[in-house]
Amino acid sequence: MAKARIVYSCQSCGYQSPKWLGKCPDCNQWNSLVEERQERVSHPRGELSLGSKEDPSPIHEIDTEAEGRALTGIGEFDRVLGGGLVAGSVILIGGDPGIGKSTLLLQAFAAISQQGLTCLYVSGEESQRQIKMRAERLDIAAPNLLILSETSLERILDQVKRTKPAVLVIDSIQTIFTSSLPSAPGSIAQVRESSGSIIVLAKKTGLTTFLIGHVTKDGAIAGPRVLEHMVDTVLYFEGDRGHSFRILRAVKNRFGSTNEIGVFEMKEAGLKEVSNPSEIFLMERPLQVPGSAVVCSMEGTRPILVELQALVSRSFLAVPRRTTIGVDHNRVALLVAVLEKKMGAKLFDQDIFVNVAGGVQVDEPAVDLGIIAAVASSHKEKVLDPKTVFFGEVGLAGEIRGISQAEARVKEAGKLGFDRCILPASNISQLTHVKHPQLTGVNSLAECWKLLF
Ligand code: TYD
Ligand code: MG
């Protein structure tokens, strides 16, 4: 009889080693290797492969008709998916506990099942009654929505074959286990094996599948990189618990653009779409206060205006604080250095806090000018014109560099009633036809300063 082999697998990245190691050589995680018994997998490998016995075909002869997209009926969700659901695609949704993953999918499934498609919601975390209670709260009535509370992979696969749903969700993949492996549910081997079997089933039968994944402390999906490679689409559902806004972000999408976001608001009766996010993010903006600047960040194809707030105050620490929420910490440190060197601002003994209002994350260089303007405004105690929007990337020499999609940003600013945009001079030439808002091009920080202070 073949002896079972013992391997040590990294629970973070899936690296395998024949002996135990304190640190994974692949992902550098400490103490992540766990002993696993590797037994012969009960199903022959052939069954696991996607391959049909087809010969290679010329690309123009391959039929794509089957790849038509079904809409979920939730506009923001469809947008993030790249325009609806592709049959046979596998979508991984990650997010912190309690952020609203189960709620989002239950609502989406209710909407899909209204179109007459059978949906199967498999929960390994909640009982049927708990899900029913949630559905009642969300005021969902959907006859084609089947609920199954199950954690065994084999039984789930059986039920899928029996009920033949068009869409399936597994909530969450970390709770599912297969009896063909001795390791515990949630371990990397179990997650890989269960999701592998589900993905093969999805591809073979054209079943659209959502996998919900837990997120670890540092933000990656637990059990994970492995999973991110296997699926077609990876979405993150993020947001601050303190805020009611939730953002669904695509980080990988084989069938659409990434960086596309969908904005939702968590209300008493579930998630509501927010189709005009800029308006909402700017709603509570204080107008005549130093340290507040409005910037425009492109999220996929959509421009979103957000308020950046900065607070500069005398520091009593040996090393002054630089705290940022919603923008990259290093980027702010770099911009503060440019501000000191080029504009002579004395910030070495000042604490600097930068925050993006509304719990949004902006990670585009186009917001650089806005960050600098907000920091300088707070430092100088001078209010910026509340009807002005800033865009532009700032270089280390204090130059303002051109940005992409300037027109879309300018239009959004005009739509929301802003009178003026301060933007890179190099972008002006493409925008000569724009009459409103007024466009002011700047080449350097010094030029911008003349306008502002
Ligand atoms: P849930 O979908 O269970 O989160 P996840 O599956 O990501 O862990 O969301 C739970 C949170 O959402 C919970 O804190 C309560 C809140 N919530 C509402 O505010 N309104 C609602 O209608 C529902 C169903 C949940
Ligand atoms: Mg849940």
Q: How far apart are CA 29 and CA 448, in angstroms?
A: 45
User: So what's the pLDDT on residue 36?
Assistant: 82
| CA 171 / ligand 2 centre spacing (Å) | 7
Inter-residue contact 156 to 194 (CB < 8 Å): no
**Peptide bond before 297: cis, by omega within 30 degrees of 0?**
no
User: So what's the pLDDT on residue 222?
Assistant: 63
User: So what's the pLDDT on residue 312?
Assistant: 96
- pTM for the full model? 0.77
Report which secondary-structure segment, H or E, holds 272. strand 270-273
Place 224 in a pLDDT band, splitting at 50, 70 and 90.
low
Complete DSSP assignment for 5-49: EEEEEETTT--EESS--SB-TTT--BT-EEEEEE---SS-HHHH-
Task: List ligand 1's pocket residues with C-beta within 6 A.
Answer: 95, 97-103, 134, 137-138, 266, 268-270
- So what CATH class is 280-452? alpha beta
Q: Choose which residue among 266, 267, 271, 272 to substitute to test ligand 1 binding: the one with the highest number of ligand atoms within 8 A of its C-beta.
A: 266
User: So what's the pLDDT on residue 223?
Assistant: 59
Residue 284 backbone zone (phi > 0: left; psi -120 to 50: alpha; other: beta)? alpha
Closest CA to 336 of 396, 283, 391, 389: 396
| CA 326 / ligand 1 centre spacing (Å) | 23
Two tokens at 273? Answer: 């779409």
Complete DSSP assignment for 149-214: E--BHHHHHHHHHHH--SEEEEE-GGG-B-TTS-SPTTSHHHHHHHHHHHHHHHHHHT-EEEEEEE
More confidently predicted of 229 and 66: 229
Question: Which residue owns the Cα nearest ligand 1 atom 24?
Answer: 270
User: So what's the pLDDT on residue 240?
Assistant: 76
Place 42 in a pLDDT band, splitting at 50, 70 and 90.
low
User: So what's the pLDDT on residue 176?
Assistant: 92
Q: How far apart are CA 145 and CA 167, in angstroms?
A: 10
Inter-residue contact 16 to 7 (CB < 8 Å): yes
Report which secondary-structure segment, H or E, holds 293. strand 292-299
State percent of the chain over pLDDT 90: 51
Q: How far apart are CA 116 and CA 158, in angstroms?
A: 22
Q: How far apart are CA 242 and CA 223, in angstroms?
A: 27
Place 134 in a pLDDT band, splitting at 50, 70 and 90.
very high
User: So what's the pLDDT on residue 131?
Assistant: 93
**Peptide bond before 437: cis, by omega within 30 degrees of 0?**
yes
The model's pLDDT over 192-207, given as tens digits with 9 standing for 90+, comes to 889 999 999 999 898 9
User: So what's the pLDDT on residue 368?
Assistant: 95
Q: Is 80 exceeded by the pLDDT of residue 162?
A: yes
| CA 30 / ligand 1 centre spacing (Å) | 33
For residue 101, the ligand 1 atom closest to its alpha carbon is 7
Determine the average pLDDT of the residues in 380-408.
94
Report which secondary-structure segment, H or E, holds 440. strand 438-442
Distances (CA, A) of 257 to 32, 66, 202, 252: 33, 21, 22, 8
Distances (CA, A) of 158 to 105, 162, 166: 22, 6, 15
For residue 172, the ligand 1 atom closest to its alpha carbon is 6
> Tokens 């953002």 label which residue?
247
Q: How far apart are CA 85 and CA 90, in angstroms?
A: 10
| CA 254 / ligand 2 centre spacing (Å) | 25
State the average pLDDT for the chain: 88
- So what CATH class is 70-275? alpha beta
